[in-house]
Amino acid sequence: MKSNRSEPDLPSKYHLFKRYMSFLKPYTYGILWIIALGMLSYCVPLVIPWMTKILIDDVLPGRDGKWTLESVVLVLVAAQIFGVLLQFLRNYYTAKLGNRIVVDLRYKLYQHMQTLSQRFFESRQTGSIVSRVLNDVNGAQNMIGGGVINLVIDVFMVVFAAAMLFALDMKLALLSLWLLPLFYLTFTNLNVRIRFAYRYVHRELEKISGLLVERIGGIKIVQAFGKEKAELDRYEKQAINHYKHSMSANVLSNTLGAIVQSFNHAGTILIWLAGGYAVLNGSLSLGSLIAFQAYLSQLYDPIRRFSQVNITIQNSMANVERIFEIFDMEPEIKDGKDPIAIEKCKGDIVFENVGFTYVSERPDPAKTDLKYTMPARKKFYLLPPRTKPAPPPMIKESNVALRHISLHAKPGEVIALVGPSGAGKSTLIHFIPRFYDPDEGRVLLDGIPLPHYRLADVRRQIAVVLQDHILFSGTMYDNIAYGSFKADKRDVEEAAKAANAYDFIMQLEHGFDTVIGERGVRLSGGQKQRIAIARSLLIDPQILILDEATSALDAESEHLVTEALERLMKNRTTFVIAHRLATVVRADQILVMDRGQIVERGTHRELLELNGLYRKLYEKQLKAMRPEQLLKA
């Protein structure tokens, strides 16, 4: 993986811009069309001063010429109607382009994120990830609609207005351009700071999003422990950080705007003075001076607007940077060269001397941006640096989770994993669907190392039933059919029957069409388990990974779940993190894990006789495990 850090080195803005533009290649015609509309719509304000000059200098004094009052007014009316129409079309196409870019960019970003490895998702808050897909993509699309297109049109307008000024009066035109070098100097000095200021703003927004999604997701715990006030304080602190950075960005942008505006005013006053003298001594007509001032504002307006457009561009550039940071992350787990396809494996799994260390990096909470850059109660806003802001300080942690793991699960066998908390049971099962690849050793499926197969094929052989039985918003039917590409109504019903879920589903008013909320909040624990089991049954996997739920169910529900699990496990290689004594006792192999190693292995009886850790666990914990169905087992 290239980088899993949240803030890798920043790319140069030219490189970034070029890259973004190449991404937007499919929209070239749309962009050119909007620019053409914009240029046309600016022809209107260019016509009006000229007509005003004709009105004042020729028509109103009653001089003979080809223009009459009516014809001048007619041209003015036509120009205005044309202008309104063009503006409408331009706004419409700009919105359309922007929204299409958002749809496309979000799709590609989401698509890329789905290929990223567990490490990426585990080292970030869900809300932070969501923030990139929503906020940053939204910001990035402004670069074109609100930024680059306006910039191109404004440049066109500046050139055209400058040409009109020179046509009206050469000396005055030269005088009015004096502010351009000053503008350039101010701009180059402040511009980079504005961009970095917005970088911080987005970073803070991402933190807020991360915090909110996490805490709202856990609102039951927040309320149960009465932590509402503490959570609100935490949120407020984060929101104030965001506020301070937003204000910094705003003060900087505003400063640039104010300086540019002052230059503009100075230029206008200078022209009134110099132009006034010229009118007084007869070298310039009044109409020309008025037209000159109108064109001057059309020269200065885009320059003033440029500072606004620039803010949009800098803001968007910060968003684009953050989006490409994600695109630059390569999936750790992916297909090798010429991967082997498998339709249906036998389910023979071997671990050969597997070792694994979790390495994670996360921002150092003791060293947040603001603490680094701004004293806590400082009132005035911080001035971001002109050099690239350093990535936030990170803490690197590594945790050896597994060592020297060797095992052989033959097709159809049940392997039960037991051991104290943190022993490495969950880590071990993660290697089978390749959520992680081991650092040492290898895992083989039917005698061939897992990475040699097509990843999608490997995963298709496996069903995972996790403790928290993740169900998605949607109908009962959708949730059961989730993993299957070809299941029809009958298959879904059969799976529900085998999972002992059919009866309770049919008792609901809408049966299989009943909508269940996020994580299935409206179902009981046992019902959720049975839906999860039905989902796995439907894909008919060769390999089953089961993290048994720890929470106890009532006797009736327990019986139904156990029966469903029995059916699911039949003739499949099953790895189960066991929390039921029944499962442990019926397993073909029990692997007793402790501190990342398999310390004992065998059947229930063999391990009891060994008189080691298993026996201790049995005496202390396993006996207390739910012994349902034990007699049957």
Ligand X SMILES: Nc1ncnc2c1ncn2[C@@H]1O[C@H](COP(=O)(O)OP(=O)(O)OP(=O)(O)O)[C@@H](O)[C@H]1O
In the shown chain, the binding pattern of residues 331 to 370 toward ligand X, with x for contact by CB under 6 A and - for none, equals ---------------------------x-x----------
CA gap 610, 602 in Å, rounded: 9
* Least distance (Å) between residue 614 CB and ligand X: 15
3-state secondary structure of 396: strand
Pairing state between β 349-363 and 440-445: antiparallel
3-class secondary structure, 441? strand
Euclidean distance between CA atoms 290 and 272, whole angstroms: 9
Q: Is 554 in the site for ligand X (CB under 6 A)?
A: no
Q: Which residues contact 574 (CB under 8 A, 6 or more apart)?
A: 413, 414, 415, 543, 544, 545, 546
Region binding ligand X by CB under 6 A among candidate stretches 323-331, 334-342, 417-425, 507-515: 417-425
Which range binds ligand X by CB under 6 A, 19-27, 177-185, 421-429, 557-565?
421-429
Contacting residue, 260, 320, 323, 423, with ligand X by CB under 6 A: 423
Q: Which stretch binds ligand X (CB under 6 A): 78-86, 415-423, 508-516, 617-625?
A: 415-423
The answer to whether 323 and 316 have CB atoms below 8 angstroms apart is no
Binding status of residue 268 toward ligand X by CB under 6 A = no
Cα dist. 191→14, 182, 328 in Å?
14, 14, 26
* Closer residue to ligand X, CB minimum distance, 384 or 424: 424
Among 88, 96, 121, 122, binds ligand X (CB under 6 A): 122
Of 275-283, 369-377, 425-433, 457-465, the segment contacting ligand X by CB under 6 A is 425-433
Spatial contact of 390 and 434, defined as CB atoms under 8 Å apart: no
Instruction: Tally the residues of the chain.
Output: 633
Applying CB under 6 A, among 132, 425, 469, 626 the residue interacting with ligand X is: 425
Select from 99, 399, 524, 621 the one that contacts ligand X (CB under 6 A): 399
Joined together, the tokens standing for residue 257 give 């705007």
Contact 435, 333 (CB under 8 A): yes
Q: Which is nearer to ligand X, 123 or 293 (CB)?
A: 123
**551 part of the interface to ligand X, by CB under 6 A:** no
Report whether 543 contacts 464 (CB < 8 A).
Answer: no
Q: Is the Cβ of residue 173 or residue 549 nearer to ligand X in the bound state?
A: 549
Q: Of 424, 429, 411, which Cα lies nearest the Cα of 351?
A: 429
Minimum CB separation of residue 112 from ligand X in Å reads: 21
- Interface stretch with ligand X, choices 130-138, 172-180, 422-430, 614-622 (CB under 6 A): 422-430
Task: Please identify, using beta-carbon distances, which residue of 165 and 415 lies nearer to ligand X.
Answer: 415
Binding residues for ligand X, total number by CB under 6 A: 13
- Closer to ligand X by CB, 296 or 423: give it: 423
- Choosing from 257, 422, 511, 627, the residue that interacts with ligand X (CB under 6 A) is 422
Question: What are the distances in angstroms from CA 353 to CA 418, 543, 561?
Answer: 19, 21, 35
Q: Which helix (H) or strand (E) holds 39?
A: helix 28-54
Interaction of residue 412 with ligand X, rule CB under 6 A: no
Min separation Cβ 399 and ligand X, Å: 4
Minimum CB distance to ligand X, residue 592 (Å):
11
Identity of the residue, 247 or 466, whose beta carbon is nearer to ligand X in the bound complex: 466
Residue 117 found at the interface with ligand X (CB under 6 A): no
24 in contact with ligand X (CB under 6 A): no
User: Does 433 engage in binding with ligand X (CB under 6 A)?
Assistant: no
Using the rule CB under 6 A, is 384 a contact of ligand X? no
User: Does the footprint of ligand X cover residue 406 (CB under 6 A)?
Assistant: no
* Helix runs in 508-612, H state only: 525-539, 555-569, 581-586, 604-610
Strand order in the sheet with 543-547: 462-465, 543-547, 573-577, 414-418, 589-594, 597-602
CB of 419 to ligand X, least distance (A): 6
Residue 8 interacts with ligand X (CB under 6 A): yes or no: no
Provide, rounded to whole angstroms, the least separation between the CB of residue 120 and ligand X: 11
Q: Which of 6, 248, 253, 427 binds ligand X (CB under 6 A)?
A: 427
Q: Which is nearer to ligand X, 122 or 328 (CB)?
A: 122
CA 410/CA 314 separation, integer angstroms: 59
Under 8 Å between Cβ of 582 and 628: yes
Minimum Å gap between C-beta 4 and ligand X is 12
Q: Which of 35, 205, 401, 564 binds ligand X (CB under 6 A)?
A: 401
For helices 286-327 and 228-280, the axis angle rounded to 10 degrees is 150
231-238: long-range contacts (C-beta < 8 A, 24 or more apart)? Answer: 235/208, 235/211, 238/204, 238/207, 238/208, 238/211
3-state secondary structure of 89: helix
Chain contacts with ligand X (rule: CB under 6 A): 122, 358, 360, 399, 401, 419, 421-427
